[in-house]
Structure 1
């Protein structure tokens, strides 16, 4: 695998699909780290893109289980209190489940670049950059290494 795309939601699905298609055309392996895989399949992501969903691991996390208990006991307390707190904690939860699951599955020596595709993926990208200092992490795909050499514009002339 050479490029890991981080897209927690499908808000920038067109841009993510475009980057994935570009990389696949250039023979690169592409992976997508997201919460759910089904919306990406509906958005038409290429089936060759390996998708790593975080949803099941997020649901098993302690904070999510506490949320389920609060919702069963008091739906009003869940809606008015717990959801506000969980929105603040969710980036932390997503990083923890990434580190414990996908982070251990991936071969970090084979990944050349990590692309943070939406604002919700910034915390995961930051943690990955901190954890792997030699890894290129950015907001846009660095296409410079994929540019083909451009032939010179001037034709060669034969000596007369």
Structure 2
């Protein structure tokens, strides 16, 4: 879409607040014309429309895993030992679900990256990937090694 000749005119009416929001976005992203800003915002809307169903499915799937783990803890049919076991394993199960969700979201982002890069530019695309990578890095506390590090830190805090 970005390389095609832009010779089709579309006339639309907008409120002053809509134009202000577009102009603010245009300035923040260093875009030279309002027409280019509107085109890019349209592309971003198409990207979001393409990615949203997959992201929603992933969130529902991982949310279901967390809900199932919670149900094991709160199920009155379970005896205390089973509930305590479920409670002990909940952080790992929830952490795995969240970590999987972040990785799945990252995969969706990578799939739509070429369109995102052509719409916002390479610098914005790189920032988005770095944000995802940093978020995944922060979630390592949910992994067995990360949990061990956290427990060790809590047991032996450095004195300042």
Calculate the TM-score normalised by the size of structure 1. 0.31
- Report the structure, 1 or 2, having the larger strand content: 1
Calculate the TM-score normalised by the size of structure 2. 0.31
